[in-house]
Amino acid sequence: MAQPSTFQLQNTILHVEVDATRLLVRRYRHLPSGQQFGGAGEAGVLCLNGQPVPWAGWEIEAACTGNTVSYRMRLKGGELAVRWELVLEENALAFRLAAVHDPEGEFIRLDWQELPLLVCADPAYNCWRMFTSAPDPQAGHKMWAMDQLGRPAPAPRPQPVIYGALWNGAVCAFADSNYPLFPLTHQQREDGSYTIGLNTYQYRVRQQTLPLLEARVVFLGDLNGDGRADLSDYRLWVNRARPQGDPLYADAIVYKIFMHYGPLGTATDLAQAEEIIGAINRVTDGLPQVIYLVGQQEGGHDGAYPTLEGFNPHIGTPEQLRALSQACPRAYNALLSYHANIDDAYPHSRDWDEAYIVAGQGGDHLVIPGSVCHTRDAETGAVFRRLQRFMDCFPLARTLHFDNLRLTNTLNRPGWEEIGVLEELVCGVMPVVDWLRQRGITVTTEGYNGLPIDPALIVSGFWHHDPPDRMRQILHRRIYGGGRGDHLGRATTADYGLCNAIHIDITYKRMPPEDLPETVRREHFSWLPTATMTWCLESQWPQIVDCIYLGVLLHHFYNERELLAWDEVGEGWRITYAGGVVAEVCIEGPESLRVCQGAVVVAEGGDRFIPRGEVVYAYSKGGSERRWVLPAALQGKPLRLCTLGREGRGPAPAHRLEGDALHLRLEAGVPVRIEAAG
């Protein structure tokens, strides 16, 4: 019997036509909507190690069993053999590299020349893609996260992307892959069609092999229940398909205490740090905290990197630090950790070693003498020795914060050409993260900071939450914490309504001090647009309390539930969470904010009434008197109220129960805790 030219795969959702002689998909039909999509054409070939290999260069055996097509491919004239599987799942076609036989080590990378996975010829489909800028030579060659909604201009070749999808309201179509670096390509063609494909797959990276490639072409209907198939359904699918972040950060007040910086001296010593921790403990009535000390090591902040150990005597004694570390969980429901840096390097450091340090370039805005090559740092074992000495020096458990995590330190640097972004990720940073994880420690970092990957590959939390806003649904509960917008504490209504934590350092003393010599100010703070770079406990306590109650607790409330839909409405957003929570941010203007859970108003303007379990935290930035519908957990029960401040609980504010509601007078900047009595 003659071999058929195509295999037909079908279930109740998809009909897929697969080529019977070559590794390609010809067309798809989404049965519920009737929508049709194309696949690869006749001109496509695989490229092995950058060289096109015509189909005649492979010995190919294809077989179809049920809804699985298997391709056994052997490179003619060589030992390389691979097996691919295309499997029709419920609403997706899975595309798997199932096995590799490569005794001579000739398989390095694979490219797909004119072999898109999916072609959409209908111009009515909208699209979104998330990608990065080209390396920025003025900022350590960082690749800044960017996104685009709507059809781009036609491009002569497929463009690398991290995430992206097509949709028309009836169906949402996309590809997904387990490859960590720019896994996909999108292209708007001159003929009006839009293609989605696989980007370069690198199987061998230095001395190791990557996981076998797994990809899917997925077709979604209305996943989130809002009556249409669109971008929110795609982002929700991705969020559900990925591991969640460390829940340690889900409901913790995460912040940094800036201790010491050589040119400025000590901003906070250990006794003063405990005052800060205690004040936040009391004003929140004991809510969890994660605190990172900055400048606790030898030389203070940025003092002697890449050296990490060595206690800084300007902040106190090692005995004081151990005592504070032990007191934090016992007395303050807090976890004490540290800000560290595995990227920057200074020649006076005793760990400066040109075996793994890349000398700085004059054009860098970062003005850092050297940057660490993570690949060689890990391969030599130097980073693990430094981290072990760090852990021997400082009491550490569960969490550590890295200031930046760059993957571009070697880009365009003479002598480092063999080490690129993929090497820095797979052979450098990921081994460090795995080493810490094996010791029960997860990592947070400064922010997206030009990382050309899904950052949840390596971290669970941000300090600055600075990805494109359309990424937030993908990252929800995978990347915790972080503040949106200005890094100097000037939060807007949008920042508070979307996601805002304390992402400006807290100090005991004003920083920089008012009496700082002008020469020092010009040298170190010419970039600073505000009077201070930190929030001082004494003079800026109201800002700290505002941020906790307007932003942090609202973010924790969001973290309790799945983010179902992220819709852009005018200049604002309507965000729908599970459990009937709807946040309307800046829809009626830049100062408008309303978050509701059914009849319960959780946030409105500068007022908050945030349920957390069987407790409600009420707050008003400017003061208010109004009626609040109680959450179900408190309805029909006698209530106990107290105000909260730096010294702890205070008298109850004026209030009265009105059925299932509470009439409450809130003083400006004074939190109120509400719970069932008895």
- Do 198 and 183 have their domain in common? yes
- Do 439 and 503 have their domain in common? yes
| Distance separating alpha carbons of residues 149 and 501, to the nearest angstrom | 27
| Distance separating alpha carbons of residues 86 and 237, to the nearest angstrom | 21
Instruction: Tell me the two tokens of residue 676.
Output: 């069932």
Answer yes or no: is 220 within a domain: yes
Domain count, the chain: 4
Answer yes or no: is 604 within a domain: no
- Do 274 and 147 have their domain in common? no
State whether residue 297 is helix, strand or coil.
strand
Q: Model pTM greater than 0.75? A: yes
| Distance separating alpha carbons of residues 624 and 666, to the nearest angstrom | 5
Would you report the helix, strand and coil content of the chain in percent, each value rounded to 5? 20, 35, 45
Cβ atoms of 258 and 506 within 8 Å: the answer is yes
In this structure, what CATH number is given to the domain that contains residue 391? Answer: 3.20.20.80
Which residues pair with residue 581 across a beta bridge?
577, 597
Cβ atoms of 610 and 620 within 8 Å: the answer is no
Phi, psi dihedrals of residue 139, rounded to the nearest 5°? -140, 50
- Do 334 and 431 have their domain in common? yes
Q: What pLDDT score does 365 carry?
A: 44
Q: Sign of dihedral through CA atoms 359, 363, 367, 373?
A: negative
Answer yes or no: is 530 within a domain: yes
- Do 95 and 171 have their domain in common? yes
Answer yes or no: is 605 within a domain: no
Answer yes or no: is 1 within a domain: no
Q: What pLDDT score does 25 carry?
A: 97
Q: What pLDDT score does 523 carry?
A: 83
For residue 467, which amino acid is it?
Answer: P
Is-cis flag, bond preceding 318, omega within 30?
no
The DSSP code for 2 is P
| Average confidence score pLDDT of the chain | 95
- Do 217 and 204 have their domain in common? yes
In this structure, what CATH number is given to the domain that contains residue 83? Answer: 2.70.98.10
Q: Measured between alpha carbons, how far apart are the two ends of the chain, in Å? A: 82
- Do 300 and 321 have their domain in common? yes
Answer yes or no: is 20 within a domain: yes
- Do 93 and 38 have their domain in common? yes
DSSP 117-137: SEEE--TT-EEEEEEEPPPBG
- Do 535 and 572 have their domain in common? no
Q: Splitting the chain (678 residues) into consecutive groups of 10 residues, what average pLDDT does each group show?
A: 82 98 97 96 94 97 97 96 98 98 96 97 97 91 95 96 98 98 98 97 96 98 98 98 97 97 91 98 98 95 92 97 98 98 94 94 63 97 98 97 94 94 98 98 93 96 94 97 91 95 96 86 85 94 98 98 98 98 98 98 98 97 98 96 98 96 98 95
- Do 673 and 653 have their domain in common? yes
- Do 525 and 491 have their domain in common? yes
User: Looking at 190, 217, 241, which one is the last position of a domain?
Assistant: 241
User: Looking at 205, 224, 241, which one is the last position of a domain?
Assistant: 241
Reported as type and span, the H/E element at residue 98 is strand 92-101
- Non-local (6+) Cβ contacts of 665 within 8 A are 624, 625, 653, 654, 655
Answer yes or no: is 501 within a domain: yes
Closest C-alpha to 468, from 231, 178, 673, 664: 231
- Non-local (6+) Cβ contacts of 515 within 8 A are none
Answer yes or no: is 621 within a domain: yes
User: Within a 10 A sphere around the Cβ of 362, how many other Cβ atoms?
Assistant: 5
- Do 151 and 273 have their domain in common? no
User: Looking at 210, 241, 272, which one is the last position of a domain?
Assistant: 241
| Distance separating alpha carbons of residues 452 and 182, to the nearest angstrom | 7
User: Within a 10 A sphere around the Cβ of 563, how many other Cβ atoms?
Assistant: 24
| Structural domain of 581 | 561-598
